[in-house]
Amino acid sequence: MAPHNVRWGIMATGGIATTFAKDILCDPSTRDVSDIAHTIVAAASSSSQSRAQEFLDAIKIPNKDAKAYGSYHELVKDQNIDIVYVATPHSHHFQNAMLCLEAGKNVLCEKAFTVNAEQTRRLVKKAKEKNLFLMEAVWTRYFPLSIKIREMITDGKIGEVLRVSADLSCNCNKPDSDSLNFGSDGDKSRMVNMDLAGGALLDLGIYSLTWVFQILYLTQKLEKREKPKVLAAVDKYHTGADEMTSIICHFEKNRTMGVATTGLRLATQPDGEGSAATGPACRIQGTKGEIQVIGPLYRPTEYRVIMNRGPKGQVEDVICPIPKDTNREGKEGENGWGHGMFWEADEAGRCLRDGKKQSDTISWEESITIMEVMDEVRKQGGVVYPELIDSTTYDEKSPLNGKA
Ligand SMILES: NC(=O)C1=CN([C@@H]2O[C@H](COP(=O)(O)OP(=O)(O)OC[C@H]3O[C@@H](n4cnc5c(N)ncnc54)[C@H](OP(=O)(O)O)[C@@H]3O)[C@@H](O)[C@H]2O)C=CC1
Ligand SMILES: O=C1OC[C@@H](O)[C@H](O)[C@H]1O
């Protein structure tokens, strides 16, 4: 049977838009997928039409009739688009995703979904009202590695899981300085810029929480999923963004705890990523043993299973490489394209094909619950974003939606 072809529109032309677009242009057979295919039919830049065209050229767009738009407003009106991938900074997601939904477009929106939980609730309400698909792009959940680990948990491989600790910290210290190292962007970087909803929590801490939630929440039966009690500590950077944040999530009824940490100055694994790293970035501790995930937690390719010591104590190391399309030209020293974002795109495609409005792997309810946890963390830590980006009122003409 012919694969179901998904026609994508890409909103924004920055770093992750490029990575995602290249991923969905990879041949699906390189990852053993035959039921879904992807086509990019349009891209839009808020700055200019020529920037959108440059983007399409940079990803070596195979279909030369793909449209380049100089505004997000034009993109959402394109009748050939099935779904828009929103790849703007977190600050913009609520207004941009609502612009898409209002125009009748399905949406895959980058993480963090929005700045606050109420913005997410409003997007969900609109998607329901318009009968559209809406999904937060938490790509890590769709990695075969994540799926395998969740299966091991539900199969009871390590017994009853009582605690998950997860860290994602990005090693951006600047020696002998109070400032962090974000290159020439400095404090304007979206990582620490309050106008762009900067800070460790929304950018990186969301992955630590992803590991806590995909183990302690998603693997539970629906009736046992619970919103945790939250205890947080936040250390702020001089822009007002959170620089180092630690969160304890107590799932009281299930009697489990998740410890999610993040920081911009430290490194999770000082000795490197993947096989170079000795320590784990995530520990999933059960009554019979534990699973350790080697970071980075947004793109893990290795885990180990350690059963409790005793006569049969054992360690199993498993590597899950990300498939490459070697017919696509990689960067110097890189063997083809393939970053791991295609799996979430395949999921979105299957949901569209099957008429589903949300993905079971990151349901609306779970996205909202995680946003509520992050709201609570920011409240306890006193992190307050500017009104323009924290507002829950949709405004088609908001500067966050760019020129019309
Ligand atoms: N899943 C993942 O692994 C990753 C996800 N992300 C997420 O993707 C989103 C974008 O991150 P990233 O691509 O790194 O960011 P970039 O700064 O590289 O790109 C953001 C793009 O958004 C558009 N934009 C619109 N308004 C603004 C504005 N005021 N300031 C800056 N950019 C603006 C621009 O595109 P244009 O001018 O064309 O409109 C810009 O190129 C974030 O939400 C982030 O959390 C980021 C990295 C990895
Ligand atoms: O989602 C992300 O994953 C990779 C990080 O480097 C990036 O800052 C973040 O947005």
* Cβ neighbours for 161, distance < 8 A, ≥ 6 positions apart: 153, 215, 216, 219, 256, 284, 285, 286
Distance 203 CA to ligand 2 centre (A): 6
pLDDT at residue number 311: 58
Distance 84 CA to ligand 1 centre (A): 15
pLDDT at residue number 310: 61
Instruction: In whole angstroms, give the CA distance from residue 271 to residue 221.
Output: 38
**CB distance 399 to ligand 1 below 6 Å:** no
**CB distance 298 to ligand 2 below 6 Å:** yes
Which atom of ligand 1 approaches the CA of 137 most closely?
1
Closest residue CA from atom 19 of ligand 1:
14
**CB distance 376 to ligand 2 below 6 Å:** no
pLDDT at residue number 332: 64
Which residues in the chain come in under a pLDDT of 50?
none
Indicate whether this complex's ipTM tops 0.90. Answer: yes
* Long-range pairs for 302-308: beta carbons < 8 A, 24 or more residues apart: 302/145, 302/274, 302/275, 303/145, 303/149, 304/280, 305/152, 305/157, 305/158, 307/158
Distance 14 CA to ligand 1 centre (A): 5
Strands 315-319 and 302-307: what pairing? antiparallel
Give the burial string for 357-384 (b: 16+ CB within 10 Å, else e). bbbebbbbebbbbbbbbbbbbbeebebe
Instruction: In whole angstroms, give the CA distance from residue 42 to residue 66.
Output: 5
**CB distance 73 to ligand 1 below 6 Å:** no
pTM of the model: 0.98
**CB distance 303 to ligand 2 below 6 Å:** no
pLDDT at residue number 333: 65
pLDDT tens for 339-349 read: 999 999 999 99
Distance 136 CA to ligand 2 centre (A): 15
Which atom of ligand 2 approaches the CA of 206 most closely?
1
Which atom of ligand 2 approaches the CA of 298 most closely?
3
pLDDT at residue number 271: 87
Which domains, and CATH codes, for the chain? 4-138+388-401 (3.40.50.720), 144-321 (3.30.360.10)
Of the candidates 279, 306, 293, which has an alpha carbon nearest to the alpha carbon of residue 159? 306
pLDDT at residue number 376: 99
Closest residue CA from atom 25 of ligand 1:
88
**CB distance 69 to ligand 1 below 6 Å:** no
